[in-house]
């Protein structure tokens, strides 16, 4: 199973910014294209007051900072040039949905989605949506956010697919801002995970089309079982099942560094064994690209190309 999609993490939450402009982004899209990546997913169009495009909605509602470059326009241009599908990420307040006000999160996102579709909906590469709020269990009113915002995205865009990328409440489900390696005493069981997510998916199955669980939160020995459960859940609710093969390492006290190739290969093999339809990654540019600020990412790229006999 090869990686054929990647997130674009331009507004970084917990990894360093690479300060790329048009030239650097085009070089990276060329690299993505060279190894068969056909799908790029903007992980969020805005976070708190930071934006990827000059949004009048976010400037007004969140006192957002207008960016010097319209990155949504740039990513769409590059996706069109290299024959890729672009999924538009929604807005994350970083506050409302986590602090008991999911309706305010929805309100801002409704205005943002309408603005985005008016500005960019005509673009050829615009082929889907990504709901950026990430959960592992039913929490913070997020299921209602998925349902309401997912339906709006589909209604506006003529039923373009909507994707989510949740995570398993496994032993590695710990804060990114703690420098220690901490594993929880108790990981959720596969059975418990399946019961809870069957309930969640029942509430959003007309609003979400693609389920792409992050694969880094459980132990490697458990991964195939969780992936199989995710695929069965997706099948049951009429969704596509992808895997978000994390290309960074959750087992290191420094968060986050490129993953060891052996670990990535193990995860891709587990996804193939579980019958997953497509592998995407979080995310190529930082953790797997020869252009990354991390030297180890270049070596990961080389090992990946060697394994799959990809010519550079």
DSSP conformation letters of 264-289 = HHHHHHHHHHTT-SEEEES-HHHHT-
Angle at the Cα of 140 from the Cα atoms of 210 and 149, rounded to 5 degrees:
45
Residue 170 — very low, low, confident or very high, per pLDDT cuts 50/70/90?
Answer: confident
Mean pLDDT of 237-261: 94
CB atoms within 10 A of CB 14: 10
Residue 125 — very low, low, confident or very high, per pLDDT cuts 50/70/90?
Answer: very high
pLDDT tens-digit profile of 96-124?
888 888 899 999 999 999 999 999 999 99
Q: Which CATH number fits domain 3-307: 2.40.50.140, 3.40.50.720, 3.20.20.80, 3.50.50.60?
A: 3.20.20.80
CB of 256 within 8 A of CB of 287? yes
pLDDT tens-digit profile of 285-296?
999 999 999 999
Report the pLDDT value the prediction gives residue 70, as an integer from 0 to 100.
98
Residue 216 — very low, low, confident or very high, per pLDDT cuts 50/70/90?
Answer: confident
Which of the two residues, 173 and 200, has the higher pLDDT score?
A: 200
**What are the residue ranges spanned by the domains of the chain?**
3-307
Question: Residue 11: exposed, middle, or buried by beta-carbon count in 10 A (0-12, 13-18, 19+)?
Answer: buried
CB of 111 within 8 A of CB of 153? no
Report the pLDDT value the prediction gives residue 312, as an integer from 0 to 100.
59
Report the pLDDT value the prediction gives residue 242, as an integer from 0 to 100.
98
Nearest C-alpha neighbor of 292 from the set 63, 84, 8, 18: 18
Residues 6+ apart with CB under 8 A from 11: 43, 44, 46, 47, 50, 51, 52
Please give the DSSP secondary-structure letter assigned to residue 63: -
Dig out the tokens for 220 from the structure.
């490697």
Report the pLDDT value the prediction gives residue 237, as an integer from 0 to 100.
97
- Report the alpha-carbon distance of residue 109 to residue 148 in Å, rounded: 10
Residue 179 — very low, low, confident or very high, per pLDDT cuts 50/70/90?
Answer: low
Mean pLDDT of 127-146: 90
pLDDT tens-digit profile of 15-74?
899 999 999 999 999 999 999 999 999 999 999 999 999 999 999 999 999 999 999 999
| pLDDT of 131 higher than 90 | yes
Nearest C-alpha neighbor of 238 from the set 269, 205, 271, 212: 205
Half-sphere exposure of 240 (CA within 13 A, CB side): 15
Mean pLDDT of 203-216: 96
Report the pLDDT value the prediction gives residue 13, as an integer from 0 to 100.
83
Report the pLDDT value the prediction gives residue 180, as an integer from 0 to 100.
62
| pLDDT of 181 higher than 80 | no
pTM of the model as a whole: 0.95
Residue 158 — very low, low, confident or very high, per pLDDT cuts 50/70/90?
Answer: very high
Residue 10 — very low, low, confident or very high, per pLDDT cuts 50/70/90?
Answer: confident
Mean pLDDT of 247-254: 89
CB atoms within 10 A of CB 196: 15
Q: Is 7 helix (H, G, I), strand (E, B) or coil?
A: strand
| pLDDT of 238 higher than 70 | yes
Which of the two residues, 253 and 178, has the higher pLDDT score?
A: 253
Report the pLDDT value the prediction gives residue 97, as an integer from 0 to 100.
86
Q: How far is CA 133 from the centre of its chain?
A: 10
Beta bridge partners, 219, equal: none
Helical segments of the chain, H only: 22-34, 56-61, 71-81, 102-120, 142-157, 190-202, 223-236, 261-273, 284-287, 295-307
Helices 71-81 and 22-34 sit at what angle, rounded to 10 degrees? 40
Residues 6+ apart with CB under 8 A from 240: 161, 209, 210, 211, 234, 277, 278
Beta bridge partners, 243, equal: 213, 279
- Report the alpha-carbon distance of residue 100 to residue 48 in Å, rounded: 16
């Amino acid at each position: 199973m090869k990686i054929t999609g990647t997130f674009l993490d331009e507004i970084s939450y917990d990894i360093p910014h690479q300060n790329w402009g048009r030239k650097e982004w085009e070089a990276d899209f060329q690299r993505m294209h060279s190894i068969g990546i056909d799908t790029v997913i903007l992980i969020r169009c805005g976070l708190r007051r930071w934006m990827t495009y000059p949004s009048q909605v976010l400037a007004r509602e969140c006192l957002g900072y207008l960016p010097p470059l319209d990155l949504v326009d740039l990513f769409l241009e590059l996706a069109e040039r290299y024959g890729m599908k672009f999924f538009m990420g929604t807005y994350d307040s970083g506050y409302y949905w986590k602090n008991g006000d999911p309706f305010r999160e929805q309100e801002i996102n409704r205005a943002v989605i309408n603005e985005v579709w008016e500005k960019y909906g005509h673009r050829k590469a615009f082929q889907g949506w990504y709901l950026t709020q990430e959960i592992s269990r039913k929490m913070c009113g997020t299921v209602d956010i998925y349902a309401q915002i997912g339906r709006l995205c589909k209604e506006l865009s003529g039923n373009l697919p909507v994707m989510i990328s949740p995570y398993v409440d496994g032993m590695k489900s710990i804060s990114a801002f703690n420098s220690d390696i901490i594993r929880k005493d108790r990981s959720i069981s596969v059975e418990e995970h399946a019961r809870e997510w069957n309930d969640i998916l029942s509430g959003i199955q007309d609003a979400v089309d693609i389920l792409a669980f992050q694969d880094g939160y459980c132990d490697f020995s458990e991964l195939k079982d969780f992936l199989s459960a995710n695929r069965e859940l997706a099948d049951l609710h009429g969704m596509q099942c992808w895997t978000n093969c994390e290309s960074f390492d959750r087992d290191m006290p420094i968060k986050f560094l490129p993953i060891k190739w052996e670990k990535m290969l193990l995860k891709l093999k587990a996804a193939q064994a579980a019958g997953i339809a497509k592998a995407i990654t979080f995310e190529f540019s930082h953790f797997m690209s020869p252009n990354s600020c991390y030297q180890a990412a270049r070596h990961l790229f080389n090992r990946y190309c060697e394994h799959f006999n990809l010519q550079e």
